[in-house]
Copies of this chain bind each other. A is one copy, B any other.
Amino acid sequence: MNIRIALAQINSTVGDLAGNQEKIADYIQQARDHKADIVAFPELAISGYPPEDLLYKGHFVKDNLRVLKSLIKETDGLTAIVGFVAADQNKNLYNAAAVIHRGRLIDVVYKQDLPNYGVFDEKRYFKPSKAFHLYSLGQNFFSVNICEDIWKDDGLAVLQAKAGSQLLINISSSPYHHGKVKLREGMLRRRAKQTKAFIAYANLIGGQDELVFDGGSLILNPKGEILFRARQFSEDLLLADLEIPPSRKIKAAPKSKVIALKNAEIREDKTAIKRHFYPPLEAPAEIYQALVLGTRDYVLKNGFQKVVVGLSGGIDSSLVAVVACDAIGKDNVVGVSLPSQYSSQETRSDAKSLADNLGIQFISVPIEGIFNTYLFALRQEFAGRGFDVTEENLQARIRGNILMALSNKFGWLVLTTGNKSEIAVGYCTLYGDMSGGFAVIKDVPKTKVYELARYRNQKGSKPLIPESVLNRPPTAELRENQKDEDSLPPYETLDPILKSYIENHSSFKKMLKKYRGKEEGVLKKVISLVDKSEYKRRQAPPGVKITSRAFGKDWRLPITNKYKEF
């Protein structure tokens, strides 16, 4: 017998209860139109994920329950599984899934394993619960679990399979980072083989502050083969017919554990559907799409239409401008050149060429005059002291001010252009190049910035980023003949050290061993720079997380911190 399952991979928005309700109702209708027996939505689809301290507002939780109540009425003719926030009489909250069958709420499943590491704070809000049921549909059993509960070898999903479940429906809001897809799919393959059950995995898509959810919902058979796969970084309705043999346990199952889906006949009038299978994206494309979606959703979900980017003629701002155009369209992107006496003719003209290639509005506001006025105003205080980082930062801050002035005057969101390598070692100016609402490549190491720029240049009909931008040695152009390598190790050396220190929390000793005792000075310098730049990162705008540890909620180092390894 065929069960037709629909995985509604939607882009819900945190707090947008009415909008999420409408979207869920729409996808239920689509699933019904396609004669699905079951439709599953992502984790916390009603509230959006993660709702964070909105959960501390009792009225928010009540409003979310009201939405659930309305949605129950929309489920004529099928079974819908919808993520929401449940509350008990003692005001304990649960990360929950409503199992709704033909207009009736027949069960609520609670998440048991609440992640409280990395970017997750679920124990701050939710209580766990071990209870679960099986649902009988025709001659089959299925059950529902939430996100983390399928990740562990002895988790709730495994218990459900042991109790007789043949189909494990997991609803997730699993945040993206590069490498996560492989991790997730490997885990699901193992779980399917271990439990000898089908797995239907419904994931969220969309951007939420620093997080991007990549979708890529899946259906696996008990051999651990991926039969169906939804799109990544885009809404999708994955439809699949599963041939599940009749359960041999159907009569032996403990009655207390089973809820029969009454009046549920598997629809027999289905016509065959095309196999829904999108192959996964490869590395640079995957990361690039994450940046595009994260940027688009931050801009649009926060009510902005246009963005403004300072174009230095360098690789970082070039990539950000290109991502912005792909995210919200070239007519909504403004490029601003802010040259000083230290800007070369090459970088000025590269900024202009990029804007021309993209076809975006281009503004040029030279900063030299303003810079000189500051120096004049401070002439007494600074008398007898030479040019130092003060004057460098001042230029960056003048640029930040001009971008913010344009933002204030025209309602454009400022996109900042700093990369992860810079932000890690503090090679960036607070209130200068760090000024802005969203930091597109905040979590992208410099070497990967180049990789993404080359990828995007190759992808289009013609290269958008001028070749000279890709070939010029990186420079901040804040003093004469400045090069990044005057202050920092080459990025090819720096980035792997940063990855060890940040993503793996490696110790100095361990890294020194890896480098066989060489590079001691470089390692010490990098560690010191990272440690002492914490105060800058604390005031940085959010940006898209693409690595296993970004400078966001998954990085909670104290500013006041006297720990020294050497």
Q: A residues bordering B, Cβ < 8 Å?
A: 13-17, 19, 50-54, 56-60, 63, 116-117, 121, 123-124, 207-209, 297-298, 301-302, 363, 365-367, 369-370, 373-374, 376-378, 381-382, 385, 388-390, 393-394, 397-398, 400-402, 404-406, 408-409, 430-431, 435, 437, 505, 507-510, 535, 538-542, 555-565
Q: How far is the CB of A406 from chain B (nearest CB, A)?
A: 7
A388 close to B366 (CB less than 8 A): no
Q: How far is the CB of A433 from chain B (nearest CB, A)?
A: 11
Q: How far is the CA of A435 from the CA of B401 in the complex (A)?
A: 12
**Complex partner residue of A377 from B209, B366, B558, B563, CB under 8 angstroms:** B366
**A510 CB contacts on chain B under 8 angstroms:** 59
B298 close to A560 (CB less than 8 A): yes
**A542 CB contacts on chain B under 8 angstroms:** 538, 559
Once A124-B116, A542-B538 are accepted as A-B contacts, the answer to whether A363 and B381 lie under 8 Å apart by CB is: yes
**Complex partner residue of A301 from B209, B367, B560, CB under 8 angstroms:** B560
Residue on B with the closest CB to A410? B381
Q: How far is the CB of A475 from chain B (nearest CB, A)?
A: 20
Residue on B with the closest CB to A536? B437
**A370 CB contacts on chain B under 8 angstroms:** 370, 373-374, 377
Known pairs A370-B373, A388-B408 / 10 extra A-B pairs, C-beta < 8 Å: A14-B563, A17-B563, A116-B124, A374-B401, A377-B402, A388-B409, A393-B405, A400-B431, A431-B431, A535-B541
A397 close to B390 (CB less than 8 A): no
**A15 CB contacts on chain B under 8 angstroms:** 558, 561-564
Q: How far is the CA of A16 from the CA of B542 in the complex (A)?
A: 30
B557 close to A16 (CB less than 8 A): no
Q: How far is the CB of A127 from chain B (nearest CB, A)?
A: 12
13 residue pairs bridging A and B, Cβ less than 8 Å apart: A13-B560, A15-B561, A50-B558, A57-B563, A59-B507, A116-B121, A209-B558, A365-B381, A378-B402, A393-B408, A404-B430, A538-B541, A539-B541
A367 close to B377 (CB less than 8 A): yes
Q: How far is the CA of A365 from the CA of B297 in the complex (A)?
A: 42
**A557 CB contacts on chain B under 8 angstroms:** 52-54
**A509 CB contacts on chain B under 8 angstroms:** 59
Q: How far is the CA of A507 from the CA of B61 in the complex (A)?
A: 11
In the A-B complex, the 7 residue pairs with the closest CB atoms:
A15-B563, A16-B562, A390-B408, A59-B507, A431-B431, A15-B561, A373-B373
Q: How far is the CA of A209 from the CA of B557 in the complex (A)?
A: 11
Q: How far is the CB of A424 from chain B (nearest CB, A)?
A: 15
Q: How far is the CB of A443 from chain B (nearest CB, A)?
A: 16
